[in-house]
Amino acid sequence: MGFFDAPALNHHEQIVFGYDEETGLKAIIAIHDTSMGPALGGCRVWNYKSEKDAVRDVLRLSEGMTYKSALAGLNLGGGKSVIMGRVRDVGNEAAFRAFGRLVDSLGGRYVTAEDVNTTPQMMEWVHEETDYVAGLSPEMGGSGDPSPFTAYGTFVGIKAAANKAYGSDSLEGKTVAVQGLGHVGIYLVEHLSKAGAKIIVTDIKEDRIKDMLKIKNVSAVEPDEIYDAEMDIFAPCALGSIVNDETIDRLKCQIIAGAANNVLSDYDKHGKILLDRGVLYAPDYAINAGGVINVYGEFEGYSEKRSYARVNHIYEILQQIFERSAEDNIPTMDAADTIAEERIRKIGRLKQMHRSGKRLFSKI
């Protein structure tokens, strides 16, 4: 089987490999689908074990962005980028300006933004070389850090899942295990604490845990112990594939609903297991869409109030997914995919019919 026949490509429109010898930049940009609009997706820095792992990650993430935007009702396509290496080695101005030139070479087909291990400062460096970057600081005409919106949307999604599982969206007294205390995880813990939940946290960085222990109703466990914790809701907010063959039997929860991407290592296999066990899974690209919803506001004149109003719709979106899952007796991921694909076919076809060459993205 050749590279272009590999199942992992899954109809991707374009994959770009960028290398800059001077800075050591090794970057991959994947554009999954642009039928709904330009491909928007963040750039993450990660020290992948191999180039194969980096390609696999960027393909899964870019495809997820297509479905995320479609399900959220946004006129955007799906894309993603990864930079291989350690942040201390590649997280500098020269490397990110080189990355900006790579983004610019695509002429607006891909718009980048902040993601795992990238910062607003890095995006400003990218912006020195291209206009196709979103999520910049308000001072630069952007919408700022998307993390609060991702966290709020995840919180709204957890309430929707609780309503489905328990008949009430109140989180008072419910035990929620939050895995990962990056920007999103921290904001999520604050929302959960205010809602009266009991919270178990973990992270690979001890200083983050110490800060969270100052918040009401928060306790902590070691990273690997989180899977064995007595909990009602598991909220993964770190990296993906953490519900896998090794962890799925250890989880003691009724709901899995978190901000991480690609939570299920194998969508088909693990989604079916969760369905058979009666564990309600909130599809990752549905529940964590708050950040991209906020960034989308930049395409039409940014309003924070309007962004939060749109993020609130995640509740209704998940209700639709849960209802479709129950009606058809299919995993929630399959239900979410079906709903997203229906919009891509209907709206995407209309957009193609009426396209006149004008891009949706207005240069910042």
SS3 272: helix
Whether 80 is catalytic: yes
Backbone angles phi, psi at 280, to 5 degrees: -85, 120
Other Cβ atoms less than 10 A from the Cβ of 1: the count is 6
Give the whole-angstrom CA distance, residue 315 versus residue 159: 8
Longest dimension (CA), the chain: 58
Position 158, amino acid: I
- What is the rounded (10 degree) CA torsion for 35, 63, 185, 178? 130
Q: Which residues pair with 17 in a beta bridge?
A: 28
Give the burial string for 75-91 (b: 16+ CB within 10 Å, else e): bbbbbbbbbbbebeebb
Angle (CA) 225 230 231, round 5° = 105
Give the whole-angstrom CA distance, residue 279 versus residue 263: 14
Residue of 26, 68, 80, 164 marked active site: 80
The phi-psi region of residue 14 (left if phi > 0; otherwise alpha if psi is between -120 and 50; otherwise beta) is beta
Position 294, amino acid: N
- What is the rounded (10 degree) CA torsion for 289, 290, 295, 298? 120
Task: For residue 334, give Cα distances in angstroms to 11, 24, 214, 234.
Answer: 18, 40, 39, 20
Nearest partner of 341 among 324, 361, 360, judged by Cα = 324
Tell me the catalytic residues: 80
